[in-house]
Structure 1
């Protein structure tokens, strides 16, 4: 039986605070040389906050996410979740990645209910819960389909249901909508906002899309070119609930914020492009 307390609108779970302190991660290249992916990254995500991280390709956005999840260990610094240092897989965390993370041999229903089942929920109860989540993401009637029988947008809906069914305190999202067409992406962004408003997990959202970051987030973090570190942090004061993402992008305040943040991001994108061109 899953006894995780539910989180309704406006709820703030102190166990969902993320503190990233002086985080550095170094790797060895295939040539045996040390490579610093991120250096001295410090950032706080408040409970229930939606935080987007934007930066040029290769700046360490996904590396930072890996440290928060506990899937990787830092070379220096640390991450704390709810005041407890991360040392191994972080409890109460769900993931959404850019690549499909569904089991291709399982149906939509089985993919969605696998989390509760692994957490010990009886299968019959997990099935009822999974059907409800499938309905919430607009896929009622597709329970018996397999991932290869779904469109890209439908697979993302399944992944979203599978991530949120566990009522996570923290949701980590690594370019989850990056591969979708513009129209489908806008629909998925709007649906994500509606579900987030209802359950309010803390969200750390990685994206290359500045418009996406501004439309979704409470706070946008700009990272520098490699080695990545925090350059700027912008608070997004667009009112919530925000409704349709496409409509938000035409608002004067959205355009003002997007322009301000682009001034900071543009320099980093230009530096990353120049570095790649010089290497070529």
Structure 2
């Protein structure tokens, strides 16, 4: 990423001017099982995310959603096909990407401030500037005054706020999110969704967001991708035409257009969920 994104003054919040598109073409990923057999996680996945777009992937458990994110990040290499970010083929760890996992992925021995400072520090930002920037981000996510706490001293929702600040502090061009709010209670989850939308509206990185929650996908996204049961491939793509900014996700869910979109997407998704359940429960698909 361009150095100017790492040395902006605290209090400023710049959009990711170099937000990158994601082009996935004919992507397949195979693994060897402990028994030496070949397992295909995803097959012939083709997907496009426009620069600055918020795209969610929804599908049954085990359909390869997380595998797809791993290929975009460069943490894994495709067996077949290609992934391009900003027009460049991904051949290693992708530059300008932040990854927010389902687990908090915080360093337990570091304070809240220390965790959030990690990104700027690793990018060479001077300590004083990194500290000021991290303090500003803690304020943005509602954790001012908690900078000296450690992860084990925080609630689940507060740890997610720390993880979000750590993911966004470097102003990424791409934000990969793997069920980041899945373990939260309903009320905390809604608060975090609103926080994410607010910060994304300001920064506008390209987002690839994995969730099992269809309502969450519709409320947050510009586009929702449905994946088939394993091996995963793209079944349907739905454009979400709800106006932005969307404000409170709890209120959006009662709107007529939201319910209409949710119904259409569920019609596509339910067969895949049923098929995956039948296979994992030992029943005939």
Please confirm whether the aligned pair reaches a TM-score higher than 0.5, indicating the same fold: yes
Distance 1:275 1:83 in 2: 38
Matched, 1:43 2:44: no
1:74 to 78, 83, 87: 78
1:187 to 187, 191, 194: 191
Alpha-carbon deviation of 1:3? 1.8
Alpha-carbon deviation of 1:8? 4.5
Q: Deviations over 1:20-59 (max 9, x none)?
A: 0100000011111001000000000000000000000000
Cα pair 1:38 1:63 within 8 Å, conserved? yes
- Residue 28 (structure 2) aligns with: 24
What is the RMSD computed on CA atoms of the aligned residues?
1.5
- Residue 249 (structure 1) aligns with: 253
Distance 1:236 1:279 in 2: 35
Alpha-carbon deviation of 1:168? 0.2
Alpha-carbon deviation of 1:279? 6.6
2:224 to 220, 223, 239: 220
TM-score normalised over the length of structure 2: 0.95
- Residue 4 (structure 2) aligns with: 3
Alpha-carbon deviation of 1:123? 0.5
Cα pair 1:37 1:60 within 8 Å, conserved? yes
1:229 to 222, 230, 233: 233
1:165 to 148, 155, 169: 169
- Residue 115 (structure 1) aligns with: 119
Q: Which runs of 4+ in 1 moved over 6 A?
A: none
Partner of 1:242: helix, strand, or coil?
A: coil
Distance 2:166 2:33 in 1: 35
Alpha-carbon deviation of 1:278? 1.7
1:274 to 275, 278, 282: 278
- Residue 158 (structure 2) aligns with: 154
TM-score normalised over the length of structure 1: 0.96
Partner of 1:278: helix, strand, or coil?
A: coil
Cα pair 1:2 1:120 within 8 Å, conserved? no
- Residue 181 (structure 2) aligns with: 177
Q: Deviations over 1:215-259 (max 9, x none)?
A: 000000000000100000000000000001101111111000000
Distance 2:182 2:89 in 1: 31
- Residue 106 (structure 1) aligns with: 110
Cα pair 1:2 1:116 within 8 Å, conserved? no
Alpha-carbon deviation of 1:277? 1.6
Gaps of at least 5 residues in structure 1 are none
Matched, 1:133 2:137: yes
Distance 1:123 1:94 in 2: 21
Gaps of at least 5 residues in structure 2 are none
